[in-house]
Amino acid sequence: MTGGRFMCEGGGSAFAGRVVAQARTWIGTPYRHQASLKAVGCDCLGLVRGVWRDVYGEEPEQPPAYQPDWAERSGDDRMRDAALRHFGAAIDPAAMQPGDVILFRWRPGLPAKHAGILSAPERFIHAYEQASVIESALVPSWRRRIAGVFRFPEKV
């Protein structure tokens, strides 16, 4: 406890700790494109949507149907645009804390196409295609693909 507030692993507020705790309840959920049901199936966006529901009670918006290659087809940075709408301005990756949403792009210049939730200073939770929701090390190969970092708002 610091200053009357409980801290989550690696720093952050009690609220951020709640986000991480909720994200961890999704670990083991099978990967299912476009799904967002704990223990049934989700993709990376479905994981973030599900944690949002767990924390706030409902989703901010229902995403339209999307194909696995949606980002390559349109070129629009739809995931980043949605993050800006619902989480607010991106924060500096050097300032990210457990509980923050991380967006990834596969190559420079491409739209963000993957998302996860930072669970500790060097770990994140994400839906791994062809597998399930897992907690992974935030190794250099992931770090160099960061397209944006966003903080869950304490109030919506």
DSSP letter string, 137-149? E--HHHHTTEEEE
From CA 42, how far away is CA 133, in angstroms rounded? 8
| Residue pointed to by tokens 């990834």 | 104
Tell me the pLDDT tens digit for each residue of 134-151.
Answer: 999 999 999 999 999 999
* pLDDT tens per residue, range 54-65: 999 998 888 888
Q: What is the spatial distance between Cα 79 and Cα 81, in angstroms, rounded to a whole number?
A: 5
Q: Which of 52, 19, 39, 49 is nearest to 119 (CA)?
A: 19
Decide: 150 and 100 in contact? Cβ < 8 Å.
yes
Contacts of 116 (CB under 8 A, 6+ apart): 44, 47, 101, 102, 104, 124, 125, 126, 136
Residue 154 to residues 71, 90, 103, 124, Cα–Cα distance (Å): 29, 15, 20, 20
Q: How far lies 26's CA from each of 20, 65, 108, 146, 147, in Å?
A: 10, 22, 30, 22, 23
pLDDT of res. 3: 33
* CATH number of the domain located at residue range(s) 14-58+74-150 in this protein: 3.90.1720.10
Please give the average per-residue pLDDT across 109-119, as a whole number.
Answer: 94
Chain segment 79-96, per-residue pLDDT in tens: 999 999 999 999 999 999
Give the H or E element holding residue 53: helix 44-56
pTM: 0.89
100's tokens: 């923050």
Q: How many DSSP H helices and E strands does the chain contain? A: 5, 7
